[in-house]
């Protein structure tokens, strides 16, 4: 029957955990929450301080025995935040209780005061004060406080004294206090279940886990009971299987609860930092260990400070590892920046080159525009000359016909002098305009010809040979031999002969005429 009850509780616990939303369900989610609460740790400390200030403000408005309750609450709140302040309020409350003749509260303050002394390293005085109280002089109202203080005091001493015999003695006393405490607490309350899980036998482990998981599912994460339950689950997992993911998960929950609850006097962060360091999570280990040391100093707990100091080599190692990783990242960043800088320089050089090309192209386009205007101007001039000559011939012909000198007119037409004169004028204007537009035309044509087949320049640099004129017309887009023959007053056969001879003298016969078309072309 007992096993059935244990199993039922375990199943109910699992169901409760599965629907709980107050804390992360997986290790990954727990790590993310840990990072977040560490980043906002100052906010939780500030909130805790505001709560404490609110309680302290009540001392100004309450009098007599009511103030004793405020002092007790302040001592209880400060015991996990600042040991010196907690001892101050417990001691002040005890003195006031004596003044008011309240021996029950005076004893309660004394018990709490003694239970805190070990974290300052004051062990013997704590034992003397605590053990001076016994079943005969213990007030009934103080039993739960007395047994809980004994639980904390004796369990603390089991870690303080490494000698097995002494350790066993204090462990037995701690179990006795725990057993008595459970009997004083409301049955199935979260605190009762927490302490009940400490005294269950090994074969009742399933029940212990169920009780602790129930605390996690029903208690807020900023409650110290949550932190202690998670820590106990972690310890149980560590005893069975070592530092597994499950152990790490519960340790993270305990550390998160300490931070959110404003608990500075705790060990979860320190133990978590060591585990994370051993697992190679250097950044989180460094964050946990440094925060642990900071909290130990802030809580004024000498024992926690000493324990954190023992972890200093790990903190230093974590820092060195973090620093080495940072330097390595910085080196890679410098390399990446150097590569990026090289690319930027290459792009700037390329852009500078392209800008130069663009300026050169713009300059050549401007020159081409000037050439075009010159070309139009010269051929307009040539057209004007032809019009003038045509008008002059028209006047002469009309005059001759009117004077009856038809024979003279016919003789003039028979003579080729006039045609020769017009051709000379055309050649002069054409040659001058073309050479002006393409000043390097002859040199570029010769570059297309074999060295021993090149064209010799005329006496005048502004005059073209018949074969150069043929090439000039081709460069202007007039590729029809018959049309070229009409312009130059040559026979069609002569034009064909010149073109074939020029091809025969070219370095590349098949591409010669295409190459001529590219002379003076504007390229990007």
pLDDT of 165 above 70: yes
pLDDT of 336 above 70: yes
Dist CA 253 CA 271 (whole Å): 12
pLDDT the model gives residue 39: 93
- Which one is predicted more confidently, 39 or 160? 39
Dist CA 205 CA 207 (whole Å): 5
CB 255 within 8 A of CB 269: yes
pLDDT of 100 above 90: yes
Dist CA 495 CA 416 (whole Å): 21
| Residue 135: exposure state from Cβ atoms within 10 A (0-12, 13-18, ≥19) | exposed
CB 263 within 8 A of CB 292: no
Between helix 245-260 and helix 224-241 the angle, nearest 10°, is: 160
Dist CA 164 CA 160 (whole Å): 11
Count CA within 13 A, CB hemisphere, residue 492: 5
CB 245 within 8 A of CB 44: no
State the pTM of this model.
0.60
Q: What are the residue ranges of CATH 1.25.40.10 in the chain?
A: 40-184
Q: How confident is the model at residue 72 (pLDDT cuts 50, 70, 90)?
A: very high
Show Cβ contacts of residue 275 under 8 Å, excluding neighbours closer than 6 positions: 243, 247, 248, 251
Neighbours of 498 (CB within 10 A): 21
Q: How confident is the model at residue 8 (pLDDT cuts 50, 70, 90)?
A: very low
Lowest mean pLDDT among 192-196, 224-228, 257-261, 429-433: 429-433
Tokens linked to 35: 């990072």
pLDDT of 279 above 50: yes
Rounded average pLDDT over 236-258: 90
Dist CA 498 CA 471 (whole Å): 9
Lowest mean pLDDT among 122-131, 246-255, 364-373: 364-373
Q: How confident is the model at residue 198 (pLDDT cuts 50, 70, 90)?
A: confident
Q: What is the pLDDT of residues 396-416, one digit of tens each?
A: 777 778 777 777 767 766 656
Q: How confident is the model at residue 11 (pLDDT cuts 50, 70, 90)?
A: very low
CB 31 within 8 A of CB 227: no
Q: How many angstroms from the chain centroid is the CA of residue 373?
A: 61
Burial letters for 420-439: b for 16+ Cβ neighbours within 10 Å, e otherwise? eebeeebbebbbbbbbebbe
String of DSSP letters for 425-468: HHHHHHHHHHHHH-TTHHHHHHHHB-GGGPPPPPSSTT---HHH
- Which one is predicted more confidently, 3 or 111? 111
Helix (H) or strand (E) holding 41: helix 41-57
Q: Which CATH superfamily groups domain 40-184?
A: Tetratricopeptide repeat domain (1.25.40.10)
CATH 1.10.10 for domain 438-524, yes or no, is: yes
What percent of the chain stands above pLDDT 90? 27
Main-chain dihedrals φ then ψ at residue 449, nearest 5 degrees: -100, 160
Dist CA 162 CA 173 (whole Å): 16
pLDDT of 6 above 60: no
CB 131 within 8 A of CB 94: no
CB 6 within 8 A of CB 206: yes
Q: What is the mean pLDDT of the chain?
A: 82
Q: What is the pLDDT of residues 103-138, one digit of tens each?
A: 999 999 999 999 888 888 788 888 888 888 887 899
Between helix 245-260 and helix 268-278 the angle, nearest 10°, is: 140
């Amino acid at each position: 029957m007992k096993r059935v009850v244990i199993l039922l509780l375990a199943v109910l616990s699992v169901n409760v955990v599965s629907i709980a939303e107050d804390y992360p369900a997986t290790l990954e989610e727990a790590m993310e929450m840990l990072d977040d609460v560490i980043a906002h740790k100052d906010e939780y400390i500030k909130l805790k301080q505001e709560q404490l200030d609110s309680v302290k403000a009540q001392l100004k408005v309450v009098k007599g025995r009511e103030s004793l309750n405020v002092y007790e609450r302040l001592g209880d709140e400060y015991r996990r935040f600042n040991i010196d302040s907690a001892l101050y309020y417990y001691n002040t409350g005890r003195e006031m209780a004596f003044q008011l003749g309240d021996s029950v509260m005076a004893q309660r303050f004394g018990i709490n005061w003694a239970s805190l002394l070990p974290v300052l390293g004051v062990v013997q005085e704590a034992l003397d004060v605590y053990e001076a109280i016994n079943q005969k002089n213990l007030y009934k109202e103080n039993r739960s406080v007395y047994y809980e203080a004994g639980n904390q005091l004796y369990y603390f001493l089991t870690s303080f004294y490494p000698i097995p015999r002494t350790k066993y003695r204090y462990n037995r006393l701690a179990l006795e206090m725990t057993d008595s405490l459970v009997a004083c607490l409301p049955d199935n309350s979260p605190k009762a279940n927490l302490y009940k899980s400490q005294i269950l036998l090994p074969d009742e482990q399933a029940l212990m886990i169920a009780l602790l998981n129930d605390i996690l599912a029903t208690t807020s994460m900023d409650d110290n009971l949550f932190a202690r339950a998670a820590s106990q689950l972690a310890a149980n997992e560590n005893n069975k299987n070592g530092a597994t993911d499950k152990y790490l998960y519960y340790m993270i929950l305990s550390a998160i609860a300490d931070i959110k609850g404003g608990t500075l006097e705790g060990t979860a962060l320190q133990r978590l930092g060591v585990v994370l360091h051993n697992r190679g999570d250097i950044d989180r280990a460094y964050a946990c260990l440094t925060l642990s040391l900071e909290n130990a100093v802030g809580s004024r707990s000498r024992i926690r400070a000493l324990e954190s100091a023992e972890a200093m080599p790990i903190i230093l190692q974590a820092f060195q590892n973090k620093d080495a990783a940072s330097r390595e990242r910085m080196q890679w960043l410098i390399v990446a920046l150097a590569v990026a800088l090289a690319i930027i320089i290459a792009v700037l050089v390329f852009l500078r080159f392209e800008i130069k090309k663009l300026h050169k192209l713009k300059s050549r386009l401007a020159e081409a525009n000037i050439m075009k205007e010159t070309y139009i101007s010269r051929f307009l001039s040539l057209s004007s000359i032809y019009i003038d000559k045509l008008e002059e011939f028209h006047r002469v012909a009309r005059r001759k016909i009117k004077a009856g000198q038809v024979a003279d007119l016919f003789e003039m037409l028979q003579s080729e002098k006039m045609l020769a004169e017009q051709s000379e004028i055309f050649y002069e204007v054409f040659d001058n305009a073309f050479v002006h537009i393409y000043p390097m035309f002859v040199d570029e044509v010769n570059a297309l010809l074999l060295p021993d087949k090149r064209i010799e320049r005329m006496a005048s640099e502004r005059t073209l040979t018949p074969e150069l004129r043929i090439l000039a017309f081709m460069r202007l887009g007039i590729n029809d031999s018959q049309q070229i023959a009409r312009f130059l007053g040559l026979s069609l056969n002569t034009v064909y002969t010149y073109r074939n001879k020029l091809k025969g003298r070219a370095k590349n016969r098949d591409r010669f005429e295409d190459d001529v078309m590219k002379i003076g072309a504007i390229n990007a």
